[in-house]
Amino acid sequence: MTTDPRRLVPRTDVLLADPRVAASAARLGRELVKSVVVEVQQRVRSGEVGPDAAADAVVAALPVSASSLHRVLNATGVLVHTNLGRAPWSAAAVDAVVAASGTTDVELDLATGRRGPRGEGAIGALLAAVPAAQAAVVVNNCAAALALVATCLGGELVVARGELVEIGDGFRIPDLLVSTGARLREVGTTNRVALADYTDAVGPDTGAVLKIHPSNFVVRGFTRSVEVAELAGAVDVPVVADVGSGLLAPHPALPDEPDLQTTLAAGADLVLCSGDKLLGGPQAGLVLGRADLVQRLRRHPLYRALRVDKTTLAALEATLRGPQPPVQRMLAVPVEVLRARAEAVVAALGGDAHVVDAGARVGGGGAPEFELPSVAVSLPASCAEPLRLGAPPVVGYLADGRTLLDLRSLDPADDETLVQAVRACR
């Protein structure tokens, strides 16, 4: 007599009682682990897994964490890759978030036992890093910072027509500004704007003049723009500059990228930027500048809806006070060092792997046409998909019929992991 195959499937309670599975349930949650058990039981029914191997199959199929997000090795050559979470954090920022994830003194003055100012440490670190700023406020991204400024300063916003840009995923700056209730006064043409265009447009209803640094594109040829220093001396309303990528001070590798310190020193009343791009920290929108304007932003009701949580404040402060974040190291590493790493990886792999010159990018809208000299490991095109689906996933790019793994965007500590990942996909 044939035994019903359903009788051979280990019971759910038996599999959950396996010490390894039980330990995972305590770490990942019972429901998540139970869902994996159910999937493995179905594989036993189909004959893919033997009944005696069911517990091992459950352990092998369990995720590393309760989150669906995966750690990914970024070998794209794009240092601040939006699809890969933008800037990787420093170890100091990670440690700060772990410490802040529990109960913390985010709004408590331990000396007095009374309520204290929120984010004082992060704000202090920002002001120390950008001496030209009198005050600062932190919200959840740069778009939120721009929305808060537009809402708070109100009235009519004067902006060059060529700076009303669209960035990733169809997000348009003018749509955001209009959604706050502000009125846009566009000046100049797509490619040219003069100082007189701004001064003629400023009137009693003007709330601010906006300068928005273009992201992801460059306008060349018959062009003209007005610098912050010219505007600051010619208009009697706040000049607000969105510099985008979050460079704190001039960087020798990016001579044309605007930075916060220089822009404020040139006369901007407020500067806005992202925290998770060239600054190298968590997602955040930073506003720095005149103390009276920052105080107006902080007291506006919308600020409460846009402010960041304790972990963002902790990561931001640690990024600013701690060691050089990974993005800054990526920018500075010499090509010779990258080549030596690539040669070591290729020597470990052998076969059809070889070293090639490559060009890396800043990403995140920063320095859109600026190419950083780099070095990559070249593999057959067929490696791209298995690497992307591996554990951990490795994301490179295809060029000239080959899979390229650019080492400028990869932490040197991950070189051996990269070698193992390539070996596993061959």
Span 211-246, pLDDT tens digits = 998 776 677 778 888 999 999 989 999 999 999 888
- Give residue 223's pLDDT: 80
The average pLDDT across 26-44 equals 94
CATH code assigned to 73-84+328-425: 3.90.1150.180
- Residue 389 pLDDT greater than 90, yes or no: yes
Per the listing, tokens 């060059």 go with 160
Q: What residues does each domain of the chain span?
A: 5-61, 73-84+328-425, 91-323
Determine which of 139-148, 185-194, 218-227, 317-326 has the lowest per-residue pLDDT on average: 218-227
Our CA dihedral for 344, 347, 352, 358, rounded to 10 degrees, sits at: 20
For the entire predicted model, the pTM comes to: 0.90
The bridge status of strand 372-380 relative to strand 402-406 is antiparallel
Residue type at position 198: Y
- Residue 5 pLDDT greater than 70, yes or no: no
Residue type at position 86: R
**CB within 8 Å of 31: residues ≥ 6 apart:** none
- Across 17-21, 245-249, 254-258, the highest mean pLDDT is recorded for 17-21
For the stretch 359-385, pLDDT in tens is 999 887 777 667 899 999 999 999 999
CATH code assigned to 91-323: 3.40.640.10
The average pLDDT across 78-93 equals 95
- Residue 139 pLDDT greater than 60, yes or no: yes
- Give residue 1's pLDDT: 46
Q: How far apart are the first and last CA of the chain?
A: 45
- Give residue 3's pLDDT: 59
The average pLDDT across 281-294 equals 98
Mean pLDDT of all residues belonging to the chain: 93
pLDDT > 70 fraction of the chain, expressed in percent and rounded: 97
Contact by Cβ (8 Å): 160, 193 = yes
- Give residue 39's pLDDT: 95
- Give residue 259's pLDDT: 94
Helix boundaries (H) for 81-227: 91-100, 120-129, 142-153, 173-179, 195-201
